[in-house]
């Protein structure tokens, strides 16, 4: 003999309400004082080869020396480079300034110099050194420093 099929119930019908499990007894208002499980200590090691300073510089010089670099790539590269915890080497900045010249983008060239001054922060000897190293390039490309333009007095 087969069991008879149970009638279809709509949610919330009287029969459905009667068949619900009884309510749980009231719980204590005391907080649960069991200590949480301790986090598992793990270390993430880089399995890749560590890049040397020379390789880092060469990678960025190559990036900015691309003959078909566009304005977006220039700005993206500079934003990434400025995001690092370092002041870019003059040879990297030389390549970036030459990319600005190829794009005829004087505003980006000035922003690069401003960003370098900002990155130098309290180390007042870094920015003059960078400008000294870049002076031949700045003269060749016809780029004035923010100080020469009077932008440091604002």
Tell whether the model's pLDDT for residue 41 goes beyond 80.
no
The whole-angstrom separation of Cα 34 and Cα 21 is 29
The whole-angstrom separation of Cα 22 and Cα 9 is 19
pTM above 0.85, yes or no: no
User: pLDDT tens digit string along 95-129?
Assistant: 999 999 999 999 999 999 999 999 998 999 999 99
Backbone φ, ψ for residue 45 (5° rounding): -100, 145
Joined tokens for residue 47: 């399995």
90-102 helix and 71-83 helix, angle to the nearest 10 degrees: 160
Half-sphere exposure (CA, 13 Å, Cβ side) for 76?
A: 6
Radius of gyration of the chain (CA): 33
The residue count of the chain comes to: 154
User: What pLDDT sits at residue 2?
Assistant: 58
The whole-angstrom separation of Cα 138 and Cα 151 is 17
User: What pLDDT sits at residue 24?
Assistant: 59
Tell whether the model's pLDDT for residue 138 goes beyond 90.
yes
The whole-angstrom separation of Cα 137 and Cα 133 is 8
Tell whether the model's pLDDT for residue 77 goes beyond 70.
yes
Joined tokens for residue 17: 């309400």
The whole-angstrom separation of Cα 110 and Cα 45 is 39
User: What pLDDT sits at residue 22?
Assistant: 59
The whole-angstrom separation of Cα 152 and Cα 62 is 31
């Amino acid at each position: 003999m087969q069991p008879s099929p149970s009638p279809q119930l709509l949610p919330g019908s009287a029969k459905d309400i009667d068949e619900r499990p009884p309510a749980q007894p009231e719980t204590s208002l005391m907080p649960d004082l069991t200590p949480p499980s301790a986090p598992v200590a793990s270390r993430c090691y880089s399995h890749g080869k560590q890049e040397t300073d020379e390789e880092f510089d060469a990678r960025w010089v190559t990036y900015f020396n691309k003959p078909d670099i566009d304005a977006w790539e220039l700005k993206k590269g500079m934003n990434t480079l400025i995001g690092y915890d370092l002041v870019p080497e003059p040879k990297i900045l030389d390549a970036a300034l030459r990319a600005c010249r190829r794009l005829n983008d004087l505003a980006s060239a000035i922003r690069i110099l401003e960003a370098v001054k900002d990155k130098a922060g309290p180390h007042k000897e870094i920015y003059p050194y960078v400008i000294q190293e870049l002076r031949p390039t700045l003269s060749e490309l016809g780029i004035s420093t923010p100080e020469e333009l009077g932008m440091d007095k604002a």
